């Protein structure tokens, strides 16, 4: 008998289902808005999309176990199939840079999460409506899945925007890292790193070994303060804040600031 899913697993499953619904609805809208498809062709395509989505959702309960591996090229190919309706009928030109076929295979949960993250990023770009082209790249360095998503929009997006913030939170939940670089007039470049192996255990007892200054910085981290805010509050430079944060990560074994915040809470 399998144990009941945890609250986190249930929330993740609900989020994945919502992602699938959003992708299906966005694809249907793209078809119905198309100026190149005939009424009959659009209707048939919409039926095909809905039928495929229904099959996909019904198969969701049979998602591969976390221990089962997916070849990185195969996981990427499935992503391209997911996004094909937007490529065919939408106004967004989606370009793919395929990963090397001999890259390390991805754990099933990482592959599944990575596809959901990219789908959400593409839909967020569609909602922003200023971009006409988006480039998606996957690679694997042996320890991490590396994702690059670049668009040619206005270049005014940031990680805390409504469209990208949920993606940043999803990445943080996977012990990953996400950076957003926006260049006005040239577009936005999103870089995501997702570890393929589970993070090491966090040493909660190590919090007691922090120096007084490190404990002060850690307490401000728990409030969601940024480096600049912490520097002003404590009266030190941002460079010194970065040093203290790196020391906190090293002492506790945490890999991200989010893990430290979770530990403190």
Q: Write down all domains in the chain, each with its CATH number in brackets.
A: 7-195 (3.30.565.10), 204-264 (1.10.10.10)
SS3 213: helix
Dihedral angle over CA of 157, 195, 198, 58, nearest 10: 70
Could you tell me which of 22, 21, 36, 23 has the C-alpha nearest to residue 88?
36
Rounded to whole angstroms, how far apart are CA atoms 111 and 194?
10
What confidence score (pLDDT) does residue 96 get?
A: 93
Short-list 232, 224, 169, 256, CA closest to 248: 256
Alpha-carbon span 131 to 93, nearest angstrom: 9
CA 223 to CA 234: how far, in whole Å?
A: 14
**pLDDT of 52:** 65
Question: How distant is the alpha carbon of residue 86 from its chain centre?
Answer: 19
Tokens of 40: 């009959």
| pTM, entire model | 0.58
**Cα gap 198→193, rounded to integer Å:** 14
- pLDDT value of residue 206: 64
Alpha-helix residue ranges (DSSP H) falling in the chain:
7-33, 39-58, 72-89, 108-128, 165-173, 212-222, 227-234, 238-252, 257-264
Q: pLDDT tens digit string along 177-214?
A: 899 999 998 999 999 999 988 665 555 566 777 888 88
Cα–Cα distance for residue pair 151/137, rounded to 1 Å: 12
Which pLDDT belongs to residue 242? Answer: 86
| Cβ neighbours of 1 (radius 10 Å) | 3
Q: Across the strands, what pairs with 180?
A: 190
All residue ranges of the chain with pLDDT < 70 are: 1-14, 51-67, 89, 129, 198-206, 265
Q: What is the pLDDT of residue 9?
A: 61
């Amino acid at each position: 008998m399998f144990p009941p899913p945890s609250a986190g697993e249930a929330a993740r499953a609900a989020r994945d289902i919502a992602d699938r619904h959003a992708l299906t609805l966005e694809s249907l809208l793209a078809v119905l808005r198309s100026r190149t498809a005939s009424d009959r062709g659009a209707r048939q395509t919409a039926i095909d999309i809905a039928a495929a989505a229904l099959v996909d959702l019904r198969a969701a309960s049979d998602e591969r176990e976390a221990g089962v591996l997916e070849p990185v090229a195969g996981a990427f190919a499935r992503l391209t199939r997911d996004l094909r309706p937007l490529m065919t009928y939408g106004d967004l030109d989606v370009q793919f840079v395929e990963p090397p076929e001999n890259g390390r295979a991805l754990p099933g949960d990482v592959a599944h999460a990575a596809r959901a993250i990219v789908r959400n990023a593409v839909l967020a770009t569609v909602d922003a409506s200023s971009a006409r082209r988006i480039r998606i790249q996957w690679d694997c360095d042996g320890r991490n899945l590396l994702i690059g998503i670049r668009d040619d929009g206005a270049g005014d997006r940031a990680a805390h925007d409504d469209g990208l913030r949920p993606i940043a939170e999803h990445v943080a939940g996977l012990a990953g890292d996400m950076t957003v670089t926006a260049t006005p007039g040239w577009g936005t470049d999103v870089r995501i790193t997702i570890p393929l192996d589970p993070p090491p255990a966090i040493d909660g007892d190590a919090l007691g070994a922090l120096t007084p200054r490190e404990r002060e910085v850690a307490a401000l981290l728990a409030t969601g303060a940024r480096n600049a805010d912490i520097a002003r509050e404590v009266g030190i430079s941002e460079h010194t804040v970065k040093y203290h944060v790196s020391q906190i990560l090293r002492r506790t074994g945490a890999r991200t600031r989010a893990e430290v915040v979770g530990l403190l809470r």
